[in-house]
Amino acid sequence: MTDALSRLTAALSDRYAIERELGRGGMATVYLAEDLKLHRKVALKVLRPELASALGPDRFLQEIDIAAKLNHPHILGLFDCGEAYGFLYYVMPYVEGQSLRDKLAKEVELPITEAVRILRDVVEALSHAHKHNVVHRDIKPDNVMLSEDHALVTDFGVAKAVSDATGAIGLTTEGVALGTPAYMAPEQAAADPHIDHRADIYAVGVIAYELLTGRTPFVGNTQQELLAAHVTQTPEPVTKYRESVSPVLAELVMKCLEKKAADRWQTAEELLPQLEALATPSAGVTPTGMASVGQMTKRRWFIAGGAVAAIIAVVAVVIGLRRGSEVALDPNHVAVAVFRNATGDPTLDHIGERAGQWITQGLHMAAIPTTPWDQVLHSSEYIQTETDAGRIRDPLRALAEETGAGTVVSGAIYLLGDSIEVQMSVTDAARGRSIGALEPVRATRHATTELIDSARERVMGFFSVRFDSLIPPSARLTGQPPTFEAYKAWNEGDRLYNQQRYREAIPYFRRAAELDSVWAPPLRGLLYAIDNAARSDGGIAHLDSIYELLTKRLYTYPPYDRALGEVLVAVSEGDHERRYQAARRAAQMAPGSRAVFIYAQSANRANRPREAVDALLILDPERGPMRGYVRYWYVLIEALHMLGEHKRELEMARRGSEHHPDGGPAILSLQANALAAMGRVEELNQVLDDMKAAPNIENEVLSLSAAVYVLRANGFTDEARLFAEELIEWFESRLPDVASMRVIRYGYSEAMFLAGRYAEAQSTADSLVLESASVRSSPHRSPGT
């Protein structure tokens, strides 16, 4: 990457001075540069190498030339474009503002008047472009820049050129091949070659929906699910998620989202006056040509054509078969089972596990949605226990239901004299039938690494045929399986970690990382273990060096491991947006896994709580990685609180208590903020009383200070003061026993502050500051202090 930037800098040195990278997207990398001739700041966009190769300079310059002729105050124009040493680039004005995507990341949903104003500017830009026969094809918040009070649409012409080229060569990267799935019109999703300007109208509807509700009309675990939803599902009314949206505006948006292009607004020029009327509302004038929302939701979609039929087939496949347990099995989602050791020699157990891990990594490299290996191991332990107890008869089906994978790779290991043979098969778990048996692989006892590598080659070869050309050769040829000693150390660390014995897990993860420098899971496990052990046992002293090592290795890892590693690096840097983007990629590659939970956590931190809720509701709290995982409820309830859905927040908090009856005061405290937001003080006091009855609840009662803030924020000032006094009374009853616990005394001072007892709060806080300064200056402070 550094070499590429150096070559680019040299190639353009006579015209532009590149200062720094501004961001990366599906099509291009954006740099801030200085125009050396005109002495102005510009945004220099460089197409990704594979797109540049597919387009070629002639086609690229032709499409750019078309877009360059557009001249409108709401279109971000082009200053320059060209080709230099294989780089294709174009230059635009540098806007000192933010993208609409950045604004949504901070605010989730916008004030209605502001949303209408932005939509009006976007539609005005499209109206001008459509009159000049230019269709954008990739209208989305990322391509709308905000400068002062105006919105400017970017990348006209580029999206169409890239779409044509990538469609021709079969690239499938999100946001590149045909557009961006979340904003695609049904005809784009169905690969209709006769797409016209009405696809842009549909995308405007999606953006409008997102600006008003904080979410897009459809969500999906995979691109296929999302594309299928655009073709077959009717979007829920805008007013379901935001009741304050007027019927006129709601119907305008829903008409943009009609499945058939002929039923939408037919031109941007037709839509523009409707938005103008809403931006400057008069006495209840209703925009013309609208069907009511009721009429729209009752409408039946009659879809024909081979391409659309193919999408419907995808929907049928993705939905899978559901049993009474309502488990959806996706045949395009793969799980690799632990290979059974049929040798009678328990010292050979590791071969089956290492083979499963290595095959899983190969599938991740091929971008096939695959259950992460650590989740397979945990599910396998549960399945084995249930099988031994006679409650499970079909372990492969059970693994499929645990993971949501409709395709399962399984195998067994046999001894043949001095050789070991691995036999493998692939099963359609949704239908309970074999897809195919693979040719066995064999090696001597002393060549287990080669044996495991051969097993992966065999499975990858099978899937490359099964999924046509989906798997590139690099996915089958990169790297080596983890060594036996490294795998053994990691496996023991993982076992201890899942027993919440974090400090004991640290040396095993560290040992595995030292033994195998190119294998990702040990380093990731080490960071999680240190973090969960409160960075104790001296771990914090080495934390920076571990993050530095992870950063250096990131780009040597397969995509899934790279995404999870990037999440950790982003957390260490406090970069919530990067963390969110990386977690979302990991979740897409491993649906139904703990990566989806990590994505939900990251969405909350990036102020996208609606996405967090949608992601968590896909997971089953009674199955797979969320079984017994109390943190699931914490993150879900946090997201609902951020959305202001306090009744639902309380409902989920109580459901969490039902799922975790032994959770004690921690799970009970989750109800507090919802009750506080609704002013239900009697119930809030009852929660506090119930918590007081339990021992060792210092940290949980500390969390109730947040409820005082929530009461005050929602106008319940007197109630907040009285509740703070209740907390003070509890703290004073406990202080003699826990006087040495600074965290408790901090909570005590905070409660006094919230009760308006400022002098007392100041006194306690001052003593804590002095003690903390003394601890910091001591050469003998204990780890984790």
- pLDDT per residue over 391-408, tens digit each? 888 888 999 888 888 899
pLDDT of residue 470: 42
Q: What mean pLDDT comes out for the span 260-288?
A: 73
Q: What b/e string do you get for 486-511 counting C-beta neighbours within 10 Å, with b at 16 or more?
A: bbbbbbbbbbbbeeeebebbbbbbbb
pLDDT band at 195 (very low <50, low <70, confident <90, very high): confident
Structure tokens at 521: 């899971």
Q: What mean pLDDT comes out for the span 763-773?
A: 80
State the average pLDDT for the chain.
Answer: 78
Continuous segment of H or E residues that includes residue 208: helix 198-213
For the chain, the distance separating the N- and C-terminal CA atoms, rounded to the nearest angstrom, is 40
pLDDT of residue 466: 57
pLDDT band at 255 (very low <50, low <70, confident <90, very high): very high
For strand 405-416 and strand 340-341, is the pairing parallel, antiparallel, or unpaired?
parallel
pLDDT band at 288 (very low <50, low <70, confident <90, very high): very low
Q: Provide the CATH topology of domain 98-283+303-307.
A: Transferase(Phosphotransferase); domain 1 (1.10.510)
C-alpha Rg value of the chain to the nearest Å: 29
The more confidently predicted of residues 423 and 516 is 423
Return the percentage of the chain with pLDDT > 90, whole number: 15
Q: What mean pLDDT comes out for the span 664-682?
A: 81
Closest residue by Cα to residue 268 from 133, 128, 118 = 128
pLDDT of residue 601: 92
pLDDT of residue 298: 28
pLDDT of residue 327: 64
Q: Are 634 and 664 in contact (CB under 8 A)?
A: no
Q: What mean pLDDT comes out for the span 313-339?
A: 60
pLDDT band at 178 (very low <50, low <70, confident <90, very high): very low
Residue 217: CB partners within 8 Å, gap ≥ 6?
205, 206, 209, 235, 236, 257
Domain boundaries, the chain: 2-93, 98-283+303-307, 320-478, 663-785
Structure tokens at 611: 């996405």
pLDDT of residue 409: 93
3-class DSSP assignment, residue 153:
strand
For strand 40-47 and strand 87-93, is the pairing parallel, antiparallel, or unpaired?
antiparallel
- pLDDT per residue over 559-617, tens digit each? 788 888 888 888 878 888 889 998 998 888 888 888 899 999 999 998 899 999 998 98
pLDDT band at 413 (very low <50, low <70, confident <90, very high): very high
The more confidently predicted of residues 615 and 321 is 615
Model-level pTM?
0.51
pLDDT of residue 502: 82
pLDDT of residue 238: 93
pLDDT of residue 772: 63
Is the domain covering 320-478 a CATH 3.30.70.940 domain? no
User: CA separation (Å) from 69 to 62, 113, 139, 670, 706?
Assistant: 11, 32, 19, 57, 56
3-class DSSP assignment, residue 420:
strand
pLDDT of residue 694: 61
Residue in the structure block whose two tokens are 């993705």: 318
Q: Compute the Cα dihedral for 204, 208, 211, 213 and give only its sign.
A: negative
Side chain identity at 600, as an amino acid letter?
Answer: A
The more confidently predicted of residues 8 and 743 is 8
Q: What mean pLDDT comes out for the span 721-748?
A: 76
pLDDT band at 173 (very low <50, low <70, confident <90, very high): very low
pLDDT of residue 28: 81
The more confidently predicted of residues 73 and 757 is 757
The more confidently predicted of residues 691 and 129 is 129
User: CA separation (Å) from 501 to 17, 495, 630?
Assistant: 53, 9, 17
Q: Is a pLDDT exceeding 90 seen at residue 208? A: yes
Return the percentage of the chain with pLDDT > 70, whole number: 80
Structure tokens at 490: 């990691």
Give the least confident one: 80-89, 173-182, 245-254: 173-182
pLDDT of residue 202: 95
Q: Is a pLDDT exceeding 80 seen at residue 456? A: yes
DSSP string for residues in 69-112: T---TTB----EEEEETTEEEEEEEPPSSEEHHHHHHHHSS--H
| Best mean pLDDT range from 243-257, 311-325, 384-398 | 243-257
Give the least confident one: 31-35, 217-221, 320-324, 399-403: 320-324
Distance CA 760, CA 752 (A): 7
Q: Provide the CATH topology of domain 2-93.
A: Phosphorylase Kinase; domain 1 (3.30.200)
User: φ and ψ at 60, to 5 degrees?
Assistant: -60, -50
Side chain identity at 619, as an amino acid letter?
Answer: L
Q: Is 698 exposed, middle or buried (0-12, 13-18, 19+ CB in 10 A)?
A: middle
- pLDDT per residue over 514-552, tens digit each? 887 777 788 888 878 877 775 444 445 566 677 777 777
As annotated, the active-site residues are: 138
Q: Is a pLDDT exceeding 60 seen at residue 258? A: yes
User: CA separation (Å) from 494 to 391, 504, 522, 592?
Assistant: 26, 10, 9, 20
pLDDT band at 191 (very low <50, low <70, confident <90, very high): confident
3-class DSSP assignment, residue 729:
helix
Q: What mean pLDDT comes out for the span 265-289?
A: 68
pLDDT of residue 693: 67
Q: Is a pLDDT exceeding 80 seen at residue 424? A: yes
Architecture in CATH for domain 663-785: Alpha Horseshoe (1.25)
